[in-house]
């Protein structure tokens, strides 16, 4: 039997449900486990973590919206990740990790052989956490690192932290998707990110929604897109003080570049999946942002639009 998915949102988990989840993980019958916003006791959380440790079919784990709610749970999750070898996407959006919690989790993240997508949005992170995250974005020639990183709504990160991340992204050979929406970045940080985008050979999606940008940074981004060849395909600038005309110019240039690539290389079929990260970092409702999915698919994978290709590459 092919592995299936378990998706529960915003519900208290009974002991029987936890037993079923653990059984499915131990039997390697679960490919996606999403317990987004679910409530369960510490004992049951520990049982799930122990089952996670030995699961070999689990590719995606969604514990968004406060499931990992204490240092003890962070330690249990870290212990599970040290043993697990299959998880490729981990979503912890809306978890009160803080820098101290990420420090507990980081050794397991850094050594995990399969992890390519990580959502740490709205996790109360600061500059110390950024230093650890940069270690998950190794430079060219180093071990494989993250391909998708979400750091939405972490206002404790200062411009110094963002500059360090920009340098890491510029030198990383892996990152394709970078979500920084709902952080108070401002024009100065946006300028540093423009340099990182121009330097990166892989970054395809950059989300800067609601980050305090103005026409000044938009003009810098426009010049970058217009004059320097990049891998960038999508740049999100909504909810900023940027004129619609500048946004449209940037969008048109990115569209032209994508069309040229398709003509040169042949347009391949792409599939869009449900996103595991939260639709907006400042919202903790039960709704989720949906992409059109392949009607023939038997399972909804909770990654970004690039998630299917990331999974395929890892499995190969």
Is the pLDDT confidence value at 282 over 50?
no
More confident position, 20 or 277: 20
Give the range among 52-56, 157-161, 191-195, 287-291 with minimum mean pLDDT. Answer: 287-291
The answer to whether residue 6 scores a pLDDT higher than 90 is yes
Confidence of residue 262 (pLDDT cuts 50, 70, 90): low
Q: Residue 213 has what pLDDT?
A: 98
Please state the rounded mean pLDDT for residues 274-302: 38
Q: How far apart are CA 217 and CA 250, in angstroms?
A: 12
Residue-level length of the chain: 316
The answer to whether the beta carbons of residues 165 and 130 sit under 8 Å apart is yes
The C-alpha atoms of residue 215 and residue 244 are separated, in whole angstroms, by: 10
- How confident is the model over 132-183, as pLDDT tens digits? 999 999 876 556 789 999 999 999 999 999 999 999 999 877 899 999 999 9
Average pLDDT over residues 40-61: 97
Could you check whether 1-124 and 129-261 share the same CATH topology? yes
The encoded tokens of residue 278 equal 């939260």
**Span 124-137, average pLDDT:** 96
Confidence of residue 97 (pLDDT cuts 50, 70, 90): very high
- Name the least confident of 11-20, 43-52, 81-90, 263-272: 263-272
Residue ranges per structural domain of the chain: 1-124, 129-261
Summarize the confidence of residues 203-210 as an average pLDDT. Answer: 97
How would residue 305 be classed by pLDDT, with cut points 50, 70 and 90? very low
User: How large is the average pLDDT for residues 29-57?
Assistant: 97
Q: Judge whether residue 51 has pLDDT over 80.
A: yes
Q: Which of 77-81, 149-153, 270-274, 290-294 has the lowest mean pLDDT?
A: 290-294
| Residue-level pLDDT at 134 | 95
Which CATH number is 1-124 given? 3.80.10.10
**Which DSSP string do the residues of 254-286 spell out, in sequence order?**
HHHHHHHHHHHH-PPP------SS-SSTT--SS
| pLDDT at 2 (0 to 100) | 59
* Per-residue pLDDT, 142: 57
CATH number given to 129-261: 3.80.10.10
Residue 270 has pLDDT above 80, yes or no: no
Residue 310, burial from CB neighbour count under 10 angstroms (0-12, 13-18, 19+): buried
Confidence check: pLDDT of 283 > 80: no
Q: Please tell me the pTM assigned to this model.
A: 0.84
DSSP track, the chain? ---EEEE--S-BPPHHHHHHHHHHHHTT-EEEEE-TT-B--HHHHHHHHHHHHH-SS--EEE-TTTTS-SHHHHHHHHHHHHH-----EEE-TT---HHHHHHHHHHHHHH-SS--EEE-TTS---HHHHHHHHTTSPBTTSS---SEEE--S-TT--HHHHHHHHHHHHHBSS--EEE-TTS--HHHHHHHHHHHHHH-SS--EEE-TTS--BHHHHHHHHHHHHHS-----EEE-TTSB--HHHHHHHHHHHHHHHHHHHHHH-PPP------SS-SSTT--SS--------TT-SS---S-TTHHHHHHHHH-
Q: Which pLDDT score is estimated for 139?
A: 75
Average pLDDT of the segment spanning 197-209: 95
- pLDDT at 255 > cutoff 60: yes
């Amino acid at each position: 039997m092919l592995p299936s998915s378990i998706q529960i949102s915003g519900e208290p988990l009974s002991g029987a449900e936890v037993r079923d989840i653990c059984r499915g993980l131990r039997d390697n019958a679960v490919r996606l486990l999403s317990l987004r916003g679910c409530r369960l006791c510490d004992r049951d959380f520990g049982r799930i973590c122990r089952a996670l440790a030995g699961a070999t079919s689990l590719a995606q784990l969604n514990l968004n919206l406060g499931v990992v709610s204490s240092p003890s749970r962070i330690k249990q999750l870290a212990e599970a990740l040290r043993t697990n070898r299959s998880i490729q996407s981990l979503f912890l959006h809306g978890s009160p990790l803080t820098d101290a919690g990420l420090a507990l989790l980081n050794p397991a993240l850094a050594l995990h052989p399969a992890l390519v997508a990580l959502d740490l949005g709205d996790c109360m992170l600061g500059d110390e956490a950024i230093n650890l995250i940069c270690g998950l974005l190794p430079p060219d020639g180093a071990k494989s690192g993250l391909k998708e990183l979400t750091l939405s709504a972490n206002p404790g990160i200062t411009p110094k932290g963002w500059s360090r991340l920009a340098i890491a992204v510029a030198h990383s050979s892996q990152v394709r998707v970078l979500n920084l929406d709902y952080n108070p970045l401002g024009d100065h940080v946006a300028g540093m990110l423009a340099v990182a985008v121009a330097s990166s050979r892989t970054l395809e999606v950059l989300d800067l929604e609601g980050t305090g940008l103005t026409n000044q940074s938009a003009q810098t981004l426009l010049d970058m897109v217009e004059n320097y060849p990049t891998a960038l395909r999508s740049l999100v600038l909504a909810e900023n003080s940027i004129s619609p005309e500048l946004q449209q110019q940037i969008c048109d240039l990115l569209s032209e570049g994508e069309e040229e690539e398709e003509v040169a290389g042949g347009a391949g079929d792409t599939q869009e999946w449900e996103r595991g990260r939260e639709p907006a970092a400042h919202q903790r409702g039960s709704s989720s942002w949906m992409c059109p999915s392949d009607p023939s698919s038997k399972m909804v994978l909770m990654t970004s639009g690039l998630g299917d290709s990331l999974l395929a590459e890892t499995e190969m």
